[in-house]
Structure 1
Amino acid sequence: MLEKRSAELHVEEEVRGKNDKEPFFSQYHCGALLGSGGFGSVFSGRRLSDGLQVAIKQISSDRVQQWARLPGEPSPVPMEIALLQRLSEAGGHMGVVQLIDWFPLPEGRGFLLVMDKPANCQDLFDFITEREALPESLALRFFRQIVSSLLFLQSQGVVHRDIKDENIVVDRRSLEVKIIDFGSGAPLKDSQYTEFEGTRVYSPPEWILSQSYSAVSLTVWSLGVLLFDMVCGDVPFETDAQITDAQPAFTRRVSKECQSLIRWCLSFRPEARPSLEEIMSHRWMEAGQGEELQEDDGQDNESSLSGKSL
């Protein structure tokens, strides 16, 4: 791990911040590798001036799918940087990862992103795996925060496009959650998207069938998958056929109200799905304790599922 870290971040004093600020290694200490994938690698880190714990994400230029222009920047930057900077300039949101700084690597090889990192965080995938499934009261607490954060993104013209348990971190002490990893994000638009870089088992039927989708309907579908994952311990669909069938089979006892919201979000027809605002006003979302709601065996069907035509 240390050899990999050294190989990937051995750029020394050459890495200077935007506007020719102090070099990266004079401002930050890079720690252990936290994870890696198609996007690049993420390391733990610490800001030297005040000891602030941070996450340092390295992106290789040859893996960037979308680029953007920033005022005052001579060269394009990854769309992820542009979106996070837009959110930061809007004041940020406690439920969304914050971009603290970014640094271009020499010779156009890539970029380093410095972001905030809760001290006691764990991604929601591992959090659920340890518990097998979450009580509805806890799922409700998390889900409210996530939808609130997505409303902030929507208000700022940003769509995440890869909402899933691995892209949400939980502060195990405060039980506050943050949405992370905007590598698949894009500017919000009213027209259809025809490219998808998210996770297949979270993708909606319209993408499987016609390779297009709208921002809100994609987000809401993924929220339905995520909520099912939280209360049942795993995602509802594994295959394309299951996704296009759009009939989640509940594997645990879940309240009728929670089932209703999940089925509504997982409506086959995009236009039948709720808006984020409608999700927030759903009866289950307004309940005091999800566990106190009436439980059901999973046979309650949402009327909005009737009729399958894109």
Structure 2
Amino acid sequence: MGNQALLSCKSKRSLSMNRHQSSRKPNRILSTKTTNIENDYIISKGIGEGMNGKVYLVINRIDKAKYALKKLEDSKQARREIDLQWRSAQTCDHIVKIVDVYENKINSKKYLLVVLEYMEGGELFDRLKKKKKFTEQEVAKIMKQVCTAVSHLHKMGIAHRDLKPENLLLTSKDENAIIKLSDFGFAKEACQGLNTPNFTPYYVPPEILLFEKYDISCDIWSLGVIMYILCCGYPPFYSYNGDPISPGMKKRIKKGQFNFPDSDWLQVSDEAKELISGMLETVPEKRLNIDQVMHSRWMLNSLNLPRTKLRSIKILNDKSINLKEIDLSMGQALGEMRINDDKVLNIKNIESAENPLLKRRLKKLSQNKKTKILENLIENIELNPIISIPIQRSLSMPLSPTTQSLVAFYYTSNLKNDLTNTQN
């Protein structure tokens, strides 16, 4: 599966173009509209919020049908998100479909207004919390639908990179509503290279924490975490001190240290535990691929799984365990730290940086220590995936402070840590 995902993007797109050119229908071609969206839709209330802002309910002026509206600042990343979600949803019933895209200016800033099918049932976990009984058979029913979406993406060579319960939505409030995957803000074609840490803490695979390049198998790890939570109500890796992520939590993720406590897992089948363990394999090459997940003994035997009531719903309703709130806060923090692929960074002169702590520390250090800090910092920029993106910079290590200026990319939190570590 990993090798398939690394096929040339150019050749895949060429094949896709030929296929569409030979037998395409007009409604299969996505084209943005430059007319005012309010000519066609009535913008109603806010119905959700993600990392990129609010999601609104909109109503078509002609047939009064309801849709969701997502507002994105026009950028290379936003256009990639729209393209990948639109293309993947064309032939998969478990991915939220894009209906229209408008290019409109709001307060002189250009936005892409994405009209999506309205998922009236809301988030999957919100529905689950209202259930009185939840069984392993129902877990399998959910996982089959989510895995169908992931399988479709992986066959297209696309990694979603943000699989989590908040992105699993229901088409309606009916008991048999279809589950669909949403939010392609971090999705990317694997052949373009996967480097940036686009994950929230509970679902992050070890290869990202180890600063390694990764592939579409990262989605399998996230699926394993989701299945674990469905079975017991809490994630396999979490911080003991209440922080979104801690050094101890990172260490356990890297080593794959988790277990199945009898108090919560005694009623869960061995096949389920075996499948979760295969998805939470720390070595990506040994981790199950999506086909192996879908053809596992647990999946194939789903109709014969236990109907015993699981404890997960009771635990999910525990007010002291708010996974969504912690995920959202951590997601926002990562969003502030993460740098978009299409932005160019301006280099700051370290001598003129307006940072009191930096000035005090630099004043105490000798010129040799300053040089060493800069060398370590540049090495950190190259290795740290949080900022391991193309950066336009010039670096000149001075022979003396009077002949050349110290120039480096300046990132407050990382530089502060480097300075502290050097002094210690």
**TM-score interval, normalised by the smaller of the two chains:** 0.7 to 0.9
Within 1, Cα distance between the matches of 2:156 and 2:298?
27
8 Å contact from structure 1 (residues 97, 178) kept in 2: yes
> What aligned pairs does 1:154-173 form with structure 2 within 5 A after superposition?
154-170=154-170, 171-173=172-174
Cα separation, partners in 2 of 1:294 and 1:124, compared to 1, 3 Å: closer
Query: Which structure has the greater CA radius of gyration?
Result: 2
- Cα distance, 1:232 vs structure 2: 0.9
Within 2, Cα distance between the matches of 1:131 and 1:233?
13
Cα separation, partners in 2 of 1:218 and 1:108, compared to 1, 3 Å: same
8 Å contact from structure 2 (residues 144, 294) kept in 1: yes
- Cα distance, 1:226 vs structure 2: 0.6
TM-score (ref. length: structure 2)? 0.57
After TM superposition, the structure 1 stretch with the greater mean CA deviation from structure 2, 123-132 or 266-275, is 123-132
1:56-99 deviation line (CA, Å, top 9, x unaligned):
011234xx6xx16xxxxxxxx521112123225xx331100001
Within 2, Cα distance between the matches of 1:96 and 1:290?
28
For residue 147 of structure 2, what is the amino acid of its counterpart? V
> What aligned pairs does 1:204-223 form with structure 2 within 5 A after superposition?
204-215=205-216, 217-223=217-223
- Cα distance, 1:294 vs structure 2: 10
| Equivalent residue pairs, number | 261
8 Å contact from structure 2 (residues 168, 181) kept in 1: yes
After TM superposition, the structure 1 stretch with the greater mean CA deviation from structure 2, 147-156 or 137-146, is 147-156
1:51 to 64, 70, 77: 64
> What aligned pairs does 1:137-148 form with structure 2 within 5 A after superposition?
137-148=137-148
8 Å contact from structure 2 (residues 195, 212) kept in 1: yes
For residue 301 of structure 2, what is the amino acid of its counterpart? A
Three-state SS of the structure 1 residue aligned to 2:226 is helix
Partner of 1:232: 232
After TM superposition, the structure 1 stretch with the greater mean CA deviation from structure 2, 249-258 or 224-233, is 249-258
After TM superposition, the structure 1 stretch with the greater mean CA deviation from structure 2, 217-226 or 154-163, is 154-163
For residue 196 of structure 1, what is the amino acid of its counterpart? P
- Cα distance, 1:52 vs structure 2: 2.0
Cα separation, partners in 2 of 1:240 and 1:129, compared to 1, 3 Å: farther
Partner of 2:52: 39
Cα separation, partners in 2 of 1:23 and 1:133, compared to 1, 3 Å: same
Cα separation, partners in 2 of 1:36 and 1:184, compared to 1, 3 Å: same
More strand, by proportion: 1
For residue 117 of structure 2, what is the amino acid of its counterpart? D
8 Å contact from structure 1 (residues 43, 55) kept in 2: yes
Partner of 1:98: 97
Q: Name stretches of at least 5 consecutive residues in structure 2 with no aligned partner.
A: 1-30, 239-248, 310-424
> What aligned pairs does 1:100-115 form with structure 2 within 5 A after superposition?
100-106=99-105, 107-115=108-116
Three-state SS of the structure 1 residue aligned to 2:305 is helix
8 Å contact from structure 1 (residues 34, 44) kept in 2: yes
Partner of 1:249: 259
For residue 197 of structure 1, what is the amino acid of its counterpart? N
Three-state SS of the structure 2 residue aligned to 1:115 is strand
Three-state SS of the structure 2 residue aligned to 1:101 is strand
For residue 45 of structure 2, what is the amino acid of its counterpart? A
> What aligned pairs does 1:51-130 form with structure 2 within 5 A after superposition?
51-61=64-74, 67=76, 78-88=79-89, 91-106=90-105, 107-119=108-120, 121-130=121-130
- Cα distance, 1:151 vs structure 2: 1.4
Q: CA RMSD in A?
A: 2.4
TM-score (ref. length: structure 1)? 0.77
Partner of 1:183: 185
Three-state SS of the structure 2 residue aligned to 1:78 is helix
For residue 181 of structure 1, what is the amino acid of its counterpart? D
Three-state SS of the structure 1 residue aligned to 2:285 is helix
1:18 to 32, 45, 49: 32
- Cα distance, 1:138 vs structure 2: 0.8
